[in-house]
Amino acid sequence: MKDLCRGYILVVEEDHDLGRLFEAVLTIDGYHVTVTPHIYEAHRILSQREPDLIIFDWSLHNAAGYVWVDELRTTAHTAHIPILLVCGMQPPRSIYEMLASAGVPIIEKPFDLIAFNRCVAALIQPRARAIGA
């Protein structure tokens, strides 16, 4: 029987071990996953293939994740892509409110893998239905 891919996920994670964990968990769940530690590499990947979901931290060493959220939401070819932030600490209230108004859910580290998988599925499923998958 042919394996069905549940979707394509781009993960931007600076911590190599956490990136590998994301890749393993999501791959086991049936997703195709690309992991990169850098925003500039994520931009290159986005120009080549549109993901069904982008996962990253709101606070990155090489860029401010919340600024990237704003960029993704205000760029025509990425505005519709769901985003999930996985954060080591909750952002300040003003940033949290900006993210909430942009429809960006936040999961705090350490996180429950079952809750993480449910959140990923919920973010990808409505998009799959909308495009007739």
- 102 pLDDT above the threshold of 90: no
Report CA torsion sign: 59, 60, 64, 70.
negative
The 10s digit of each residue's pLDDT in 38-48 is: 888 999 999 99
- 131 pLDDT above the threshold of 70: no
- Specify the pLDDT at position 129: 46
- Comparing 64 with 52, the larger pLDDT belongs to 52
User: Tokens for 101?
Assistant: 């108004």
